[in-house]
Structure 1
Amino acid sequence: MTTSAVRHLISINDLNDDDLRSIAERGAAFSAGEAGPVAPLEGDIVGIYFSKTSTRTRTAFSSGALRLGGRIVGYGPGDLQLNTGETSEDTGRVMSRMLDVLVARTAGDPEELRGWATQERMSVVNAMTADEHPTQALTDLTTMLRHFGRIDGLRILYVGEGNNTASALALALTRFPGVEFELRTPPGYGLADEFVTRATEQAARSGATFRERHDMSGLPSDLDVIYTTRWQTTGSTKPDANWREIFAPFQVTEALWEHSPKAVFMHDLPAHRGEEVVAEVLDGPASIAFDQAENKMHSAMAVLEWCRGGIAGAVHR
């Protein structure tokens, strides 16, 4: 498929408001089986490079590319000459002459992906860096849209570490009017200042509400979504030896549903039952975590289609 301009997705900030909403809507259409028989990647080659472990994201983009008519080339952590000192820019220039899209997880500095994106032939998709997990946020928007039929006006509580999933959610959810997004993060493990600033500014512009606190008292009621992630994020370590004690009050238990009986539970997985969430919640009737996992493939298909010039929405530079 020929595109008029190369589209990269390295941060949620690379999407304008129309792109963000359109990708979520397209992901929901794929999830509902309403996208029709399409093959926007027919003749395209998609590189799948993961230097860190992945179950859902790697499978989602691999399966999604194949379902859209593309073919894939897979790379492991020891396969690229980056390990011998080749620059990110040179790597991107070379791969862009052989690939149409590169989906990459480094769990490191996003500037490496920015280096790959300096060429104008190949789209680069961030499948997770240390600071942000944009394709997870798009999966979550797709899941909320499928479940509620809307994103505008939802009330969402995130409990746990202010990690790369939380930062991407903050950048995404604060774009939607009426959304109330509150984070409860352990002291010393909140969102980085740059994400707090950006999310606060976006919420003021869109009419959303954004808050972050570092305790579990006075929780909001009548929530639509209660969300958590595992406490040990891929590729990260904790500076405090006693971090489990700091995190313990932030475990998601059935008590959180006392004042929000209709809330659904979301988790980006993998989950550690008995740590960030109890089994009764993850495996209980409120949980849509495994629907959410399936939607990673549908959302990946929407991202790949957008990268190759599909879906209404202007390119944001």
Structure 2
Amino acid sequence: MYSGLKNRDFLTLAEFTKEELTVMLETAAHLKLRYKMGERAIPLLPGRHLAMIFEKPSTRTRVSFEAAIKELGGDAIVLHYGEMQLARGETIEDTARTLSRYVDGIMARVYEHYKLEKLAEYSTVPVINGLSDLHHPAQGLADVFTIVEKKGRDITRLKIVFVGDGGDNVAHSLMLAVGILGGKVTISAPKGYDPHPSVVKLFNETAARYGGSFEIERDPWKAVKDADVVYTDVWVSMGQEKEREKRVKDLEPYKVTSLLMKQAKQDAIFMHCLPAHRGEEVTDEVIDGKWSVVWDQAENRKHVQKAILALLIP
């Protein structure tokens, strides 16, 4: 097992080189193959403990990370934010210092990204981003793993289009993952829904050096024309409920329908990180149809996260 990533944090994909992301993807492919061949337990992390902090509710992140660490021979300790001393005023710094004495890694799913940065600053064990308002790197890595699995290893030859809210954390991590691997992402979003300036800055500082690029195309029909991959996500994320009416109105023209998918290549795939609001950002005909790879994509979260844990946790 490659040891060059031990004790590293996993907060954004911009912290890793193209070569390092390639190692993660190759490790995930190796672990998935062994799993499919019947090797349900691969004890790469025996006796290790992963603390999992949930400020936001979760289905896929919790189950996939918990299954991942257990299949590697370790164990997970689930910590709901409201049940922790954090909810009663303990600082993030003190929480990080304490947990570092008990566990070998910390995965946290939070509202604000700065909380992860603070955890990582004061933790002596790897901190892994299970989702924040700006980044969802484990999802982004699983997304490129799925794209390569379905469409071939050379991501630079593919037209990858994200339709919807370009300021979405999943869109951000997709941009960075594809860009660092040298590919291009088209973001099709209305004005006011472009990628966050801080993420654009990260992209320009990292992905651009590998030839990665992104573009904004307001017209979803033009954006999806001849696409290899069409990706969308929910329009109203947790914490944005008060903006629901405006967001749904603004993003309605960006709904992924079968008519929109027919603008893409005949063998195009449809992706969604889930959970989906069926009938809102995507129709049943698409998510359940011939284009959809969302269930394979969801499964790949576990295999990619096994690679992240195996490579980072000492």
TM-score for the superposition, normalised by structure 2? 0.90
- Describe how 1:239-250 pairs up with structure 2 within 5 A: 239=243, 241-250=245-254
Structure 1: give runs of 5+ residues left out of the alignment. Answer: 310-317
1:24 is matched by which residue type in structure 2?
L
1:285 is matched by which residue type in structure 2?
K
- Describe how 1:6-85 pairs up with structure 2 within 5 A: 6-33=7-34, 38-85=42-89
The reply to whether residue 218 of structure 1 matches residue 219 of structure 2 is: no
Which residue, 146, 152, 171 being the options, matches 1:143? 146
Which residue, 175, 193, 200 being the options, matches 1:196? 200
Which residue, 176, 183, 208 being the options, matches 2:187? 183
- Equivalent pairs counted in the alignment come to 306
| Native 8 Å contact 1:200 1:210 kept in 2 | no
The reply to whether residue 126 of structure 1 matches residue 126 of structure 2 is: no
The reply to whether residue 285 of structure 1 matches residue 290 of structure 2 is: yes
Distance 1:77 1:299 in 2: 25
Distance 1:251 1:24 in 2: 30
Shift of 1:262: 1.2
Shift of 1:234: 2.4
**Residue deviations 1:261-299 (CA, integer Å, cap 9, x gap):** 211000000111110001100000110001101111111
RMSD, aligned CA: 2.2
Distance 1:266 1:12 in 2: 19
Aligned partner of 2:280 in structure 1 is: 275
Aligned partner of 2:100 in structure 1 is: 96
Secondary structure class of the residue paired with 2:271: strand
Compared CA separation, residues 215 and 201, structure 1 to 2 (3 A): farther
Compared CA separation, residues 49 and 256, structure 1 to 2 (3 A): same
| Native 8 Å contact 1:139 1:292 kept in 2 | yes
Structure 2: give runs of 5+ residues left out of the alignment. Answer: none
| Native 8 Å contact 2:236 2:247 kept in 1 | no
Shift of 1:186: 2.4
| Native 8 Å contact 1:25 1:145 kept in 2 | no
1:198 is matched by which residue type in structure 2?
L
Distance 1:153 1:243 in 2: 33
Compared CA separation, residues 101 and 204, structure 1 to 2 (3 A): closer
Secondary structure class of the residue paired with 1:33: helix
Secondary structure class of the residue paired with 1:117: helix
Compared CA separation, residues 212 and 201, structure 1 to 2 (3 A): farther
Distance 1:158 1:239 in 2: 21
Percentage of identical aligned residues: 34
Distance 1:156 1:38 in 2: 34
**Residue deviations 1:84-128 (CA, integer Å, cap 9, x gap):** 21111111000000000111101x222212222124631111101
| Native 8 Å contact 2:10 2:127 kept in 1 | yes
Higher helix share: 2
Secondary structure class of the residue paired with 1:97: helix
Distance 2:147 2:161 in 1: 13
Higher relative contact order (CA 8 A, sep 6+): 1
TM-score for the superposition, normalised by structure 1? 0.89
| Native 8 Å contact 1:10 1:113 kept in 2 | yes
Aligned partner of 1:315 in structure 2 is: none
